[in-house]
Amino acid sequence: MKRTISLLLILVLVVNLTACKSKSRYEGQFLQLFDTMSTIVSYMDSKDEFSKFSTMIHDTLKEYHQLYDIYNEYDGINNIKTINDSAGKSPVKVDKRIIDLINFSKEIYTQTNGKCNIAMGSVLKIWHQYRKSGIDDPEKAALPSKSELTAAARHTNISDIIIDQEASTVYLPDPEMSLDVGAVAKGYATEQAAKKAVALGYKSALLSIGGNVRAVGSKNGDSFWKVGVQNPDIESDDLLTVEIKDMSVVTSGIYERYYTVDGKNYHHIIDTDTLMPADYFKAVTIICRDSGIADGLSTAVFCLPYEQGLELIDGIPDTEAMWVMNDGSIKTSENFNRYVKVTSNNPF
């Protein structure tokens, strides 16, 4: 999340006329929400209609971005940073959408047996500091000590978060505790924006919020949306393409935020048990309906051995996963391949 938020909205019209379809393809992009590039694609009757739609999506995501920000303050808004700053001091009255996210995150925590834990802020803060220093000065890049991480991990009990639903307050009684919602916030916000679009009657859109992809309906009335899954070894190329309607696709991988120490890359997905970057896979992709659930599961499964991750995914209805192993080979859950578009470039 950036310290400043500005909107760069680009509307691109691609006329796509056939004998039976008269809607046109529009694409919009904006920057700096959830520290990422966001793209919206939709088929609509006019540029004005799409402009209204894309502005609604942007404004909705901006509200969630500000509420879930752990780094910055905003006038008149108590957000996650406010809660962290008030740890050990006093409860913070917050917007219901913050409480909703925390309750959602507790459900994901239980579902993943603690592998996705928004209360890991004290540990993740240390890794963030070391990563930032290592990127700024690569020659002095270093790893945090085990003792430093272990001490911070004593303040990561998600059960310590006190929520007063009636008063709409959140309190962290441990002054050393902090929340980091990075594993779920972007996907959760994307899902809420998609639900709002559906409630307003929109039937054909694809939201890609920093790689958290959520399809609203189908493409131009009846077709599948085609979504590329990034190759973790080649940043600019897609490993394969999946086809979805009313579903979400989220990938966690080693190509995301990382820094290098003694020739080895250390990414930002930290295993809650080892307190180190998980090293089971290069990437994990989740397909399910809810983007928030997909976001949390992608982090959790990335931090589990394949057999345990597969067992978790197999126990969740209408949810599939793909693992890119460290040797480049691919494994999938039983029905993942039904979403894969068969081409000469795809490995299936």
Residue 123 has pLDDT above 50, yes or no: yes
Pairing verdict, β 212-217 and 248-253: antiparallel
Report the amino acid identity of residue 53.
Answer: F
- Contact, 156 vs 273, CB < 8 A? no
Checking phi first, is residue 162 left (phi over 0); if not, alpha (psi -120 to 50) or beta?
A: beta
Give the residue, 12 or 38, on which the prediction is more confident.
38
Question: Roughly what angle, to the nearest 10 degrees, separates helices 306-314 and 291-302?
Answer: 150
CATH code of 238-348, in short, is 3.10.520.10
Per-range mean pLDDT, top range of 178-192, 225-239, 243-257: 178-192
Helix or strand holding residue 31 (H, E): strand 24-33
pLDDT at 2 over 80: no
Q: What is the pLDDT of residue 276?
A: 98
Cβ neighbour number for residue 54 with a 10 Å cutoff: 24
What's the confidence (pLDDT) of residue 103? 98
The pairs formed by 223-231 with CB atoms below 8 angstroms and a separation of 24 or more are: 224/341, 226/341, 229/285, 229/322, 230/255, 230/283
Dmax over CA atoms of the chain, in Å, equals 68
80-171 CATH fold: T-fold (1.10.3980)
DSSP assignment letter at 114 = T
Residue 97, classified by CB atoms within 10 Å of its CB into exposed (0-12), middle (13-18) or buried (19+), is middle
Give the least confident one: 26-35, 100-109, 150-159, 260-269. 26-35
Rounded to whole angstroms, the Cα distance separating 247 from 145 reads 41
% of the chain surpassing 70 pLDDT: 91
Is residue 140's pLDDT more than 90? yes
Q: What single-letter DSSP state applies at residue 235? A: E
Judged against a pLDDT cut of 50, whether residue 125 lies above it is answered with yes
Q: What is the mean pLDDT of residues 268-292?
A: 97
Task: Give the global pTM.
Answer: 0.91
What is the mean pLDDT of the segment spanning 280-296?
97
- In this prediction, residues 305-318 reach a mean pLDDT of 97
Q: What is the spatial distance between Cα 99 and Cα 22, in angstroms, rounded to a whole number? A: 43
DSSP of 157-212: -GGG-EEETTTTEEE--STT-----TTTHHHHHHHHHHHHHHHTT--EEEEEETTE
At 70-99, the pLDDT tens digits run 999 999 999 999 999 999 999 999 999 999
